[in-house]
Chains A and B, each alone.
Chain A
Amino acid sequence: MKVGVCIKSTPDADTRLKVAAGATGIETAGIKWVISDYEKGALEVGVSLKEKLGGECVLYSVGSGDTEKNLRDGLALGGDRAVMVDDAATKGTDALGIAKALAAAIKLDGLDIVLCGRQATDDENSQVPAMVAELLGWPHISFVGAFAIDGTDFVASRNMGGATEKVRGALPVVVTTEDTIATPRYVKLPEIMKAKSKKLEKKNLAALGLSAEAIAPAATFSAYSPPPSRPAGRKLAGDAAAQAKELVRLLREEAKVI
């Protein structure tokens, strides 16, 4: 079984994000970039499948800088090798551009399954995996909470908010996973040492048969703004009984929580 896992580097969940001067993006200085949370689950599924069925688990990412470190972390978590699309032209691209780069790299490897997180923890865009599936001409199963292989078929359970939908189909397939699909394993020190010597290939667009024009963005972000700051708290007056009464009224009539 040849499994691919697409990994995005996103700011660590502890980061306090700030909008950069000029409102063109976020302030990146001092951010620790890590594997996006949803993709940690996808990676665990990919590695477990490979451990169970044999074959190979290959990691893919588009980026530079910390992307390489995160791919190495993924290799320490059980990936066999990694492909990093490293080309300056990918910097200003959009979801479709990223999907084109990933699909081209995946096509070269002839995979059976591609796993992605259901969304990135930073921009929560949820677009790339479906686009990858379309570009590969494969089915795409989204919001998957459980996934298994049954002979030459895959069986997936989709979370539908209260109900579960079971899907069965033939490989190959692109799957986007819920973060609850698997508990990521802890990284072990000897695995980190081993990961250093695992293969990590860097490919530019030309090596994938693509050009900068081919991934030129159809849309660009025009401005970023922080969420509105929280309104100041409200102080209730009067004696304890009056305050309690007013509190209940506010919870019922304004907040509508009781």
Chain B
Amino acid sequence: MIAPITDPSVIEGYLTDASNVHGHADGLLRPRSTEEVSAIVRHCQANNLALTVTAARTSTTAGPVPFGGLLLSLERLNRIGAITHDTATAQVGVYLGAFQTEIEATGRFYPPDPTSRNECTLGGSVACNASGARTFRYGPTRPWVEALEVVLPDGEIRRFKRGDPVPAAWPVPQWTEPNVKTSAGYAPAKDAVDVFIGSEGTLGILTEVTVRLTDLPESVLGVLAYFPDRATAVAFMRAARAAAREDRTGTLSPRCLEYLDKGCLAFAKARIGAVPEGAGAAMFCEQEVMACGEDAHMAAWFDALTTSGALIDETLFSSDPSSRASLLALRHAVPAGVNEQAVRNGMPKVATDLSVPDDALDAMMDAYEAAPMRNALFGHLGDNHLHLNLLPSTADELATAKAFYVELARKAVALGGSVSGEHGIGKTKKNQLALMVDAATLESFRALKLHLDPNGVLGRGTMFD
């Protein structure tokens, strides 16, 4: 096995992620090949040493944060392999955005787009079954994964293609996932690849991924629409969503429907000023140009926005990549503003990741709006998956925010939703997972984990205590 780095000043850079949880590790390993990964895993099993997989540490749930044992960084497995018409292959340490850029240069398209795509790795996004704005049209990462190379917890190197069944001896949990966008718990997999997608580094170490590609849209329209209030924005989303579900290639068939509430607009205004008077909510949407052509799309969007009561004279529109980027700047001013406020408050923000079924959206939004402190609510309205960002300014408020989050999670579960739409469970949301799945299901997760990793070496503390 390659020798671990033990210099604390090097290890220090690997001990936290976007959750702000800070861990500790006895050594750091940066293998250059799948075989080296395998040797490390065998060593850890033989010595019952905890092994935590870390990629780009953009996780918001402390998944890559170690508490003792060795830390395995995948940064050196960073080669992009073959890109063909139908699939693209890369090692897991490649940055997702860079991978997508290479794919798009060939005229093909890999849709999953977590906001962090330029900062997170391909492997991390598969390990968390990441989603993004475009998930509304294209689904999460899972359906796009064609094949995986995995180092199992016993060190064996395996390759699974989509369609390869789960090995008969593996006790895959049989449970019904909530019928919403979800990345919580082990999937009731039929294909072996699905066992590992979303398993957050607890069932195996992904070393290479092959994804399925589709046509790169020739042209994409961007729309930033302002609304007097939440009700009109939600009405528009429902109209657009219904149209998209009825006809995926119609004149009104958005690929994303993203929401920004009043709290967000206040941040956007403070940073870039350009928010119209009377705006109480906004939506950022994208439409890929279909066979009907740009003009037909514009007419359909104009009608739907007008009918639902948008501030139509203030609706901004873009038809080329650079001006779409400038509309996005408005949207991105919000998370930047939220993060700055958290720094000013000297307290971390508490951000939710709950998703609910269509008919529960209003009830969930009512619950968000009862937040007991300054906040901003934004995210994937088309998927009923919003992120409430609570901004406590004192230690007491932080405790209140955390308790309020648990209340919201309870509510989402009661409404048939998921405690994690996309960020996963990690180490910080185990209590919430327990709200969502019953003891028997949790036991079935543990059974799979113990079957593959009897000593609980991989990802210790993630998903299970």
Contacts and interface: CB of A to CB of B under 8 A. Distances in A.
Contact of B302 (A73, A186, A190): A190
A188 B317 contact: yes
Given A12-B322, A13-B322, A186-B274, A192 B317 contact: yes
B298 A14 contact: no
Interface in B222-248: 223-224
Contacts of B223: 189
Interface size class of B (residues with CB under 8 A): 20 to 34
A190 B274 contact: no
Contact of A14 (B219, B314, B321): B321
A32 interface: yes
A193 B315 CA distance: 12
A96 interface: no
Interface in B302-337: 302, 305, 312-323, 325-327
A186 B319 CA distance: 11
A14 to B, nearest CB: 4
Given A14-B322, A32-B219, A190 B107 contact: no
Interface string B416-446: 0000000000000000000000000000000
A189 B320 contact: no
Contacts of B313: 188, 190
B238 to A, nearest CB: 20
A187 B316 CA distance: 6
B315 A188 contact: yes
Given A186-B274, A189-B302, A189-B316, 11 more contacts: A12-B320, A13-B321, A30-B218, A73-B319, A186-B316, A186-B327, A187-B323, A189-B298, A189-B301, A189-B317, A193-B302
Q: Which of A14, A32, A189, A190 has the most CB of B within 10 A?
A: A189
B323 A16 contact: no
B140 to A, nearest CB: 26
A34 interface: yes
A107 B24 CA distance: 75
B312 A189 contact: yes
A16 B105 contact: yes
A66 B196 CA distance: 47
Contacts of A16: 105
Q: Which of B274, B298, B315, B325 has the most CB of A within 10 A?
A: B315
Contacts of A34: 320, 322-323
Nearest to B104: A16
Contacts of B326: 186
A243 to B, nearest CB: 14
Interface string A60-87: 0000000000000100000000000000
6 contacts: A12-B320, A12-B321, A73-B319, A189-B316, A192-B298, A196-B295
Contacts of B316: 186-189
A193 B298 contact: yes
B329 to A, nearest CB: 11
Q: Which of B219, B298, B319, B325 has the most CB of A within 10 A?
A: B319
B250 to A, nearest CB: 18
Contacts of B322: 12-14, 34
A189 B315 contact: yes
